[in-house]
A and B are shown apart, each in its own frame.
Chain A
Amino acid sequence: MSGRSFKSVFMVASCAGAALGCYMVSLRVASERAKLESVETQIVMAQRDIRLLQTEIGTRGRLSQLERWNAGAFALSAPNANQFLGGSFELAKLVAPSHEVDFQAPVVMASAPAPEPKAAPIGEPATDDAGTEAVTTVATEKTELLHQASLKTGTREVPATTTAAIPLRAVQKSTDKPVAAAIPAPKKSADKPGLAAAKPVQKKTADTVIATAKPIAKKPAEIVAKSPPKKSVDKPIAAVAKPMTKPVRIAKADTVASLSAKSAKKPAKDHVSGQ
């Protein structure tokens, strides 16, 4: 009974509560919105201040003013053309140590004795003759100098030496094709390289030696190239064997040799240790 009589009151109260709740929500929204607006306004005002300050700084530090200060106090000038560097290499060139003549240094004669030929590994055919040995050493040095002019030879030389690096002892063991091809080289093409190299040394001048030394250098490579490589892996090795000049000597010091020629790896090591 009482509940029914108060029903309308409850209705009004709940309506009022709901309306109040809605109003509170909207009030909250409005106040948040107002805060946002004020923040936005602050941002704009700050931007305006920044702009004003930037303008003031820009005006006080205007270029004509800087120029005046520079003329009066700093005296800075534009860099000269030779003050510009093309890159790190040119920068490094600037600090190159100057060449100084050391008068205390021992006198070195212009006609220095030829370096002692190194002991050839056992069983190497090319080093039998002392004369040929000397010629090939000279040829090596000269051709190395010649090769420096071209960037390509540097990379090619490495695998080339690997084929030749294999001493005879190792070669005989190995079954690999290019290596095997290297063996018949002195035999097959007969004495051609040997003759060509040996002759001018004894009779002609050093210049012709270099000239003739080249074909020698090429010869083994050609032979290697000619020999039919069956494995595709072998092909590049044969192809790059061209500039090879003096096989054994370079190969000893070359560490790359062991890396590029897999089959020759072991014997090469043996050889070095043998030395």
Chain B
Amino acid sequence: MNAPSPALVAPRPERLRLVGQRRQILAVMHQRLMFGMLVYAGIVVLIALRILYLAAFGDHAGAKEGLTALVPDRGDIVDRNGDPLARTIDAWTIAIHPNKVIGDKLALAQKLAQLMPELSADQYFALLKSNKPFFYLRRRAAPGLVEAVNAIGEPGLAIEREPDRLYPQTSLAAHVIGFTDIDGHGAAGVERAFDKYLSDPATRGKPLQLSISSPIQQALEHELGTAMTTFSAIGAAGVVMDVHTGEVLAMTSLPTMNPNVAGQGTPDQMFNRATLGVFELGSTFKPFTLAMALDSGVVTGPGQMLNCPDTLPVYGRVIHDTHPFGRQCSIAEAMMESSNIAMGQVADRLGKTRQQAWLKKMGFLDKPEIELREKGRPLTPGSRWGPLETITIGFGQGIAVAPLQLAMGYATLFNGGIYHPPTILKVGPDHPLGPGKRVFTADTSYRMRSLLRLVVMKGTGKKADAPGYRVGGKTGTAQKIINGHYSQTINLTSFAGVFPMDDPRYVIVVMLDEPKATKDTYGFTTAGWNVAPVVSRTISRIAPMLGVAPNMNREPNMSEVLPYIHDASQDTKKD
């Protein structure tokens, strides 16, 4: 009883300890609680701040993706006037996932066959039963068809919009523009040459401007196509070029293809005859030989006389002329009547070394310097280049170049003698004109004008004349090599023309591969009968567009050459 209760006396030390512990725990708890609260408050504040930030600067729920500028998936290609030649648009694509089809596959196959009759119902059914995960039914589908397919309501059908390359002018300048493969990368032409520019997000917003002019291209293609049909030729090529800048205004190769469905093209259609194909272009080479001779002083002028027999045996071969003189002839006459014998002699006097040096300077021994990748390497005698080859090259046999190179050579010859590499891009601030390099003297360039005008006025190229446009040029009829021999019947005819000849601005080169004779050509298959009229018609059409004013009263100085022409009609009058 006396025992004091522990409560009345001083607490037991363990109890005291207990109190101290509790207080400590309490303090710790407070601390923790405080910490938790702070953390919580911090989070709340953070969230509040974030909300405020979002409210002030963030996107709202309805915001769309930042569409501030229209950048296509692949850059446009436009012509020199800004008209589109290639564009990327969103096209409808119909595809199917056979695994995901839940409806009746047979009924679906029948419906698909009705809508898209390129495959039969059986084929569609076989496709649906196959375990392939995905295949395309139709790319670039018409909206009506898309609607009808969508109405089937099959979840396995996938209808999507995909960027698709479209060539609005279809086959116009197809070989220049080229086409893209299924992945959207360039596979030919400009699409291939400028693939990086067209697909790079930094540059593709700005369209790639070509030097091609659509109306001129169309005129050239149409006239050349008509001639090709008329003369049943197997192919044709044409180039129109600005002589001062080397810009290609039009370049075509026939038969052509449709780059919208490039896969359907045959290899023959895909082949670019204007740049990739190399041909022996024959007499169109003669002006170069003469210019080289004039420049080096081998020939003094159009009045120089040469011995022009009916045939000329040289180094074990006999050279013939289509219009043999059988007398002395002047240089002007030799050019007018396209004499192989006279030009062979000129080339012989010029010599191999000088001929090679000039051809090299003119870029005839290398691939053309154009941006396109489809370029053919010229064929030359190479190590066999001897005196005979020098003579034959003098009149265009034994060297094969692309028609583009021929145009380039004429541009060099008639712009005052300065070589500018041909270009497919429009010359302007983005693509400035280079300085060029001199090949012929300005005087030679000037003297050639009247000589080539003479060919069209009185010589083999009469049918190439377009009244008022002062066309000058040279015909070329080359025999094709069939089984290693020059064929006597199968030709490759070409014409290289320049207009207006009193102040040359444009060059046009036209070529027909294996033209056949017709009633209108009186059985002839020479260039004067089939390609020369193409040049005449094309120039009449394009010259006004190019700003060449027709003038019946202007001509180059013909008094430089006309005195050296032997006029047979006057002989008969005298007699």
Whether the pair A55, B89 counts as a contact (CB closer than 8 A) is yes
Tell whether B482 is near chain A: CB-to-CB under 8 Å: no
Tell whether A18 is near chain B: CB-to-CB under 8 Å: no
CA distance in complex: A47, B67 (Å): 11
CA distance in complex: A49, B227 (Å): 40
Tell whether A34 is near chain B: CB-to-CB under 8 Å: yes
A192 to chain B minimum Cβ distance, whole angstroms, is 47
**Count of B residues near A, CB < 8 Å?**
42
Whether the pair A58, B84 counts as a contact (CB closer than 8 A) is yes
- What chain A residues lie within 8 Å of B221 (beta carbons)? 64
Whether the pair A82, B552 counts as a contact (CB closer than 8 A) is yes
Whether the pair A58, B83 counts as a contact (CB closer than 8 A) is yes
Tell whether A45 is near chain B: CB-to-CB under 8 Å: yes
Q: Choose, from A21-29, A113-121, A199-207, A234-242, the stretch at the interface.
A: A21-29
Whether the pair A41, B171 counts as a contact (CB closer than 8 A) is no
- What chain B residues lie within 8 Å of A27 (beta carbons)? 55
Whether the pair B170, A23 counts as a contact (CB closer than 8 A) is no
- What chain B residues lie within 8 Å of A141 (beta carbons)? none
- What chain A residues lie within 8 Å of B214 (beta carbons)? 63
Report which of B67, B168, B218 forms a contact with A59, defined as CB distance below 8 A.
B168
- What chain A residues lie within 8 Å of B57 (beta carbons)? 30
Chain A 19-59 interface 0/1 with B at a Cβ cutoff of 8 Å (1 = within): 00001001101110010011011001101100110110011
Tell whether B318 is near chain A: CB-to-CB under 8 Å: no
Whether the pair A47, B540 counts as a contact (CB closer than 8 A) is no
Tell whether A2 is near chain B: CB-to-CB under 8 Å: no
Whether the pair A47, B70 counts as a contact (CB closer than 8 A) is yes
Whether the pair B549, A84 counts as a contact (CB closer than 8 A) is yes
Tell whether A80 is near chain B: CB-to-CB under 8 Å: yes
CA distance in complex: A40, B469 (Å): 52
Chain A 81-116 interface 0/1 with B at a Cβ cutoff of 8 Å (1 = within): 110101000000000000000000000000000000
Whether the pair B550, A84 counts as a contact (CB closer than 8 A) is yes
Interface residues of B in 462-494 (CB under 8 A from A): 466-469
Tell whether A124 is near chain B: CB-to-CB under 8 Å: no
Whether the pair B468, A81 counts as a contact (CB closer than 8 A) is yes
Chain A 63-91 interface 0/1 with B at a Cβ cutoff of 8 Å (1 = within): 11001000000000011111010100000
Main secondary structure of the interface of B (DSSP, over half): loop
- What chain A residues lie within 8 Å of B540 (beta carbons)? 78, 80-81
- What chain B residues lie within 8 Å of A63 (beta carbons)? 169, 172, 214-215, 217-218
Q: Which of A34, A54, A81 has the most CB of B within 10 A?
A: A81
Whether the pair A30, B544 counts as a contact (CB closer than 8 A) is no
B64 to chain A minimum Cβ distance, whole angstroms, is 5
CA distance in complex: A45, B215 (Å): 31
B536 to chain A minimum Cβ distance, whole angstroms, is 11
Tell whether A62 is near chain B: CB-to-CB under 8 Å: yes
Tell whether B56 is near chain A: CB-to-CB under 8 Å: yes
Whether the pair A55, B70 counts as a contact (CB closer than 8 A) is no
Whether the pair B64, A37 counts as a contact (CB closer than 8 A) is yes
Whether the pair B67, A62 counts as a contact (CB closer than 8 A) is no
Say whether, besides A62-B169, A62-B172, A63-B215, A51 and B541 are in contact (CB < 8 Å): no
Whether the pair B70, A81 counts as a contact (CB closer than 8 A) is no
Say whether, besides A55-B89, A84-B544, A64 and B70 are in contact (CB < 8 Å): no
Tell whether B69 is near chain A: CB-to-CB under 8 Å: yes
Interface residues of A in 141-156 (CB under 8 A from B): none
- What chain A residues lie within 8 Å of B66 (beta carbons)? 37
A136 to chain B minimum Cβ distance, whole angstroms, is 41
Report which of B56, B89, B217 forms a contact with A26, defined as CB distance below 8 A.
B56
Whether the pair B166, A55 counts as a contact (CB closer than 8 A) is yes
Whether the pair A59, B166 counts as a contact (CB closer than 8 A) is yes
- What chain A residues lie within 8 Å of B544 (beta carbons)? 78-79, 84
Say whether, besides A51-B70, A64-B218, A34 and B62 are in contact (CB < 8 Å): yes
CA distance in complex: A26, B540 (Å): 68
Whether the pair B64, A38 counts as a contact (CB closer than 8 A) is yes
Interface residues of B in 39-95 (CB under 8 A from A): 52, 55-58, 60, 62-64, 66-70, 83-84, 87, 89-90
Whether the pair B169, A44 counts as a contact (CB closer than 8 A) is no
Whether the pair B55, A26 counts as a contact (CB closer than 8 A) is yes
A61 to chain B: closest residue by CB: B168
Tell whether B30 is near chain A: CB-to-CB under 8 Å: no
Q: Which of B67, B467, B551 has the most CB of A within 10 A?
A: B67
- What chain A residues lie within 8 Å of B166 (beta carbons)? 55, 59
Whether the pair A34, B63 counts as a contact (CB closer than 8 A) is yes
Tell whether B360 is near chain A: CB-to-CB under 8 Å: no
Chain B 522-548 interface 0/1 with A at a Cβ cutoff of 8 Å (1 = within): 000000000000000000110010000
CA distance in complex: A78, B549 (Å): 13
- What chain A residues lie within 8 Å of B467 (beta carbons)? 80-82
Jot down 10 A-B pairs with beta carbons below 8 A, ordered by A: A26-B52, A26-B55, A31-B60, A51-B70, A54-B84, A55-B168, A59-B166, A63-B169, A63-B218, A81-B552
The 6 closest A-B pairs by CB, nearest first: A81-B468, A81-B550, A26-B56, A63-B218, A59-B168, A78-B541
- List the interface of chain A (C-beta within 8 A of B): 23, 26-27, 29-31, 34, 37-38, 40-41, 44-45, 47-48, 51-52, 54-55, 58-59, 62-64, 67, 78-82, 84, 86
